[in-house]
Structures are given as C-alpha cells and as structure tokens.
Amino acid sequence: MKPAAYIGILLLLLPLQASLLAPLSRIGLAPDLGMAVLFVIGLLTTPVEAAFAGIAIGLLQDAGSASLLGLSGLTLGIVGLVTGLLGQRMLDIQSSSNVVFLAVFSLTGSLLTVLFLDVLYGGFPVLGPFFVRMVPRAAATAFTGLLILRFSTRRSVLPMIRRRELQKER
C-alpha cells in the first residue's frame, strides 16, 4: 500500500475507534477497527507487508491503551501474516464470505488475549465474556471489515491506496 495510506491509517485509527465507535461499546458492539483494517490490508497486499502493518497497528493500540507493549502488536502481526497468506490463495478477494475469516481472527485474538492475561494475572473468566463480549465484537468487526473491503476495492479507491508495482504483480 502507499505510504500516505499507512500514515493516514496510523494517525486516524485510534481516534476513530475511541471517539466515533465509543457509543457502540455501551451495547457491546464496538468493532475492532484495527483488525478490520488490517484484514483488508492483508487481502490487498503481501503477507510480509501485512505482518508489519499489523505490528505497527498493534503497537499503536498498545501504546494508546494500558496493555503491555507488544501484546496487540504480536497478535495483529500474526493476523496480518495469516491474512496475507490467505489473500494470496483466494480466487476472489472481494467476496463477502471472506469476512468469516475476519470473525474467526477476531474471536481467536480475543480468546488468546484473555488466556494470556489469565496466565499473567490469574482469575480471568473466559466463558462469560466469550458470549457476552467476544462473539458480538467479532460480528461487529466482521461487518466493519466487509464495509471497508467493499469501499477499498471500488475502482475509484483502489488505485489511491495501492502501490503501482503491487497492482502490476497482481
């Protein structure tokens, strides 16, 4: 992707998630905007580029919250790499059914985070939050990912965010 697109994403991701999507967190439906954006990056770029994008977005999320620096960086880095590999093997990256993978990634990411925190601090309930918080969040993230995917793969938008050499590669 073009550097300008990355700068825009990194500058606006946290404020958009924290300000505009905050009202949705009251009803437990705030999507993970970082993961949704990363999923689209993974589908549109290479695995290595998506992995580094994931690490950058994750580190930004860690620094902007109270969590351990590197926790989201590692999680989103792995998600970026896997999405990139997935994107290389997909016949149609614009297909709506692709966001099922995003829901699975979101759910797995949330589960791994809670398990990590449980190992670290102990006493973290998993089953209750799984249905109350993680599943609705995964659904909201998948829906957001679908909207971003639809928007970014439009013929008028794609050339603005994608590097020319990558367009030739595809």
Binding site for another protein (CB under 8 A): 11-12, 14-22, 25-26, 30, 32, 47-48, 51-52, 55, 59-74, 77-78, 81, 109-110, 113-114, 116-117, 120-121, 123-125, 128-129, 132-133, 137
Shortest Å, Cβ 92 to another protein: 25
Shortest Å, Cβ 152 to another protein: 21
The CA distances from residue 20 to 13, 15, 31, 167, in Å, are: 11, 8, 11, 32
SS3 content of the chain, % helix, strand, coil (to 5): 80, 0, 20
Shortest Å, Cβ 113 to another protein: 4
Shortest Å, Cβ 136 to another protein: 12
Of 121 and 155, CB closest to another protein: 121
Q: Which of 35, 19, 54, 20 is nearest to 105 (CA)?
A: 35
Contact in structure between 75 and 109 (CB atoms under 8 Å): yes
